[in-house]
Amino acid sequence: SYVLTQPPSVSVAPGQTARISCGGDNIGSKSVHWYQQKPGQAPLLVFFDDYVRPSGIPERFSGSNSGNTATMTISRVEVGDEADYYCQVWESTSDHPGVIFGGGTKLTVL
Amino acid sequence: EVQLVESGGALVQPGGSLRLSCAASGFTFSNYWMHWVRQAPGMGLVWVARIQSDGGATSYAGSVVGRFTISRDNAKNTLFLEMNSLSAEDTAIYYCARESSGWNLRRGYYYYMDVWGKGTTVSVSS
């Protein structure tokens, strides 16, 4: 089955840029979606189709996807950005087609 | 306001059964495919099941096939998850989520979850 690989953790100082990767075999051929989950809260959609931000998501958040890696970039990181971030794709070729999530990345703002 | 509210979570013994519900409001429930996603304590998100807008088609993660059944009542704007033969590995927060979709010229259709409930907790223990 298709596997999405994320680094377990990323640390960044306030005001700096955070980059969270999501690796998968030829992931550039798939649309990647990203979710933010703060402690004790439900996930929140941050991007769909690689880089499209729903209303309410700051422009500081951007996304890209090419080759074997999709990347979420957060510019001018704020303390409030501290959360777990998950990438997601739809896998249609396996015996059990469905939603695939990455393992998640904990963003720590130092 | 678009909202999903889960209920039905409980402490249940291994081998037991449970039925979760998800009440939808603020949107036309019958127009949307829906999902269940779970999260074990301290772990990541894991997709569980999906159901077509009219209930006609369903799909499941391999780990729950034959044990879990997703269903819906569009007249009552409610999504369900029937869980049988529960084990400790099923202990998790269970979220319901609304699916939205789009079309990418290079890649075709894509599917993502744009609205999530706050979750309901299922604990399986003796």
Q: Dump pLDDT digits (tens) for A28-39.
A: 999 999 999 999
Beta carbons within 8 Å of A52's beta carbon, 6+ residues apart: none
* B119 at A interface, C-beta within 8 A: yes
- Give the closest residue to A85 by CA, choosing from A29, A38, A17, A15: A38
- Give the closest residue to A58 by CA, choosing from A44, A72, A75: A75
Average pLDDT over residues B4-30: 97
Mean pLDDT of chain B, nearest integer? 96
> Is the pLDDT assigned to residue A65 strictly greater than 80?
yes
Chain A positions touching chain B (beta carbons under 8 Å)? 1, 29-31, 33, 35, 37, 41-45, 48-49, 54, 84, 86, 88, 90, 95-104
> What does the pLDDT read at residue A5?
98
> Is the pLDDT assigned to residue A95 strictly greater than 70?
no
How far is residue A30's CA from residue A47's CA, in Å, rounded to a whole number?
Answer: 14
The encoded tokens of residue B116 equal 């999530």
The more confident residue out of B108 and B123 is B123
> What does the pLDDT read at residue A98?
87
> What does the pLDDT read at residue A91?
85
- Alpha-helix residue ranges (DSSP H) falling in chain A: none
* B45 at A interface, C-beta within 8 A: yes
> What does the pLDDT read at residue A108?
97
| Nearest residue of chain B to residue A104 (CA atoms) | B44
Above pLDDT 70, what percent of chain A? Answer: 97
Cα-based distances in Å from B39 to A2, A41, B30, B84, B116? 19, 12, 26, 18, 13
The sign of the CA dihedral A36, A37, A41, A45 is positive
> Is the pLDDT assigned to residue A94 strictly greater than 80?
no
> Is the pLDDT assigned to residue B12 strictly greater than 80?
yes
Average pLDDT over residues A22-27: 96
Average pLDDT over residues B70-78: 98
Cα-based distances in Å from A110 to A10, A16, A58, A96? 10, 10, 20, 40
| Nearest residue of chain B to residue A45 (CA atoms) | B114
* B33 at A interface, C-beta within 8 A: no
- Give the closest residue to A40 by CA, choosing from A72, A83, A9: A83
Query: Which chain B residues have a beta carbon less than 8 Å from that of A43?
Result: 37, 45, 95, 97, 113, 116
The encoded tokens of residue A16 equal 């700096």
Q: Dump pLDDT digits (tens) for B86-111.
A: 999 999 999 999 999 999 998 889 99
